[in-house]
């Protein structure tokens, strides 16, 4: 596995729909507020709109809008697929296959243009990308530490522990986790947060109210410090 970088981080999620893009955009705003040139990347995206300029994904567009400098679309999202299904199925439907070389090349261009790069995963930790690749191959190939987004809803205690265990078993560093209140009616949310803090093998880097403005980021000061820590 490549040496892990301290100027780039992989944003993983306990599942699909837990708010990886929302948290990534909030982190980009927080980093920029601290004076960093920060850009987002969505290497693989399923569920794209056909436009005159090509396929476009809402998550990738949100990352670009939150970035400074704003990367070209194809650099932010090298693999864009039409159908909103698992990437390996969407890629097959579009008669292509996710390959790591174009992702590495796009990532290198981003690191040349910015001080911090946030690479957002797709689905959960083991979402299939092709017949030979899963989502965990992205941080492994790029040498990235991981921040885990935990969607705060029923079942999150189990999903968060399993994902954290898999991240560490795959040889990646877990910088910490961020809670995202995807279910505003979740019973005993504070008690669940206390349980996550006790059970997960990494610190809580922030908790976000999913309905809040993504630019309001004081809750993520700890996460920014973790991402931008000086190299040892």
Strand partners, 94: none
Q: Is 20 a catalytic residue?
A: no
d(CA 150, CA 103): 25
Strand partners, 80: 45
Which residue is catalytic, options 42, 88, 159, 210? 42
Query: Going by C-beta distance under 8 Å and a sequence separation of 6 or more, which residues neighbour residue 65?
Result: 25
d(CA 209, CA 187): 15
Cα dihedral 89, 47, 210, 123 in deg (nearest 10): 20
For the four alpha carbons of 39, 168, 121 and 111, in that order, the dihedral sign comes to: positive
Longest dimension (CA), the chain: 50
Residues with a known catalytic role:
42
């Amino acid at each position: 596995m490549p040496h892990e970088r301290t100027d780039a981080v992989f944003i993983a999620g306990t599942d699909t729909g837990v708010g990886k893009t929302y948290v990534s955009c909030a982190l980009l705003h927080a980093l920029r507020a601290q004076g960093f040139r920060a850009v987002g990347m969505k290497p693989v995206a399923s569920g794209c709109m056909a436009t005159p300029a090509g396929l476009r994904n809402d998550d990738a567009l949100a990352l670009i809008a939150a970035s400074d400098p704003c990367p070209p679309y194809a650099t932010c999202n090298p693999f864009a697929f039409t159908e909103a299904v698992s990437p390996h199925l969407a890629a097959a439907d579009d008669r292509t296959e996710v390959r790591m070389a174009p992702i590495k090349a796009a990532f290198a261009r981003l690191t040349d243009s910015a001080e911090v790069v946030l690479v957002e995963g797709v689905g959960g930790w083991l979402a299939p990308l092709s017949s030979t690749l899963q989502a965990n191959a992205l941080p492994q190939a790029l040498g990235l530490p991981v921040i885990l987004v935990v969607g705060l809803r029923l079942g999150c205690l189990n999903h968060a522990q399993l994902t954290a265990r898999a991240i560490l078993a795959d040889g990646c560093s877990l910088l910490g986790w961020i809670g995202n209140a995807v279910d505003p009616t979740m019973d005993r949310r504070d008690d669940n947060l206390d349980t996550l803090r006790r059970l997960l093998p990494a610190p809580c880097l922030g908790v976000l109210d999913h309905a809040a403005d993504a630019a309001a980021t004081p809750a993520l000061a700890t996460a920014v410090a973790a991402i931008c820590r000086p190299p040892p």
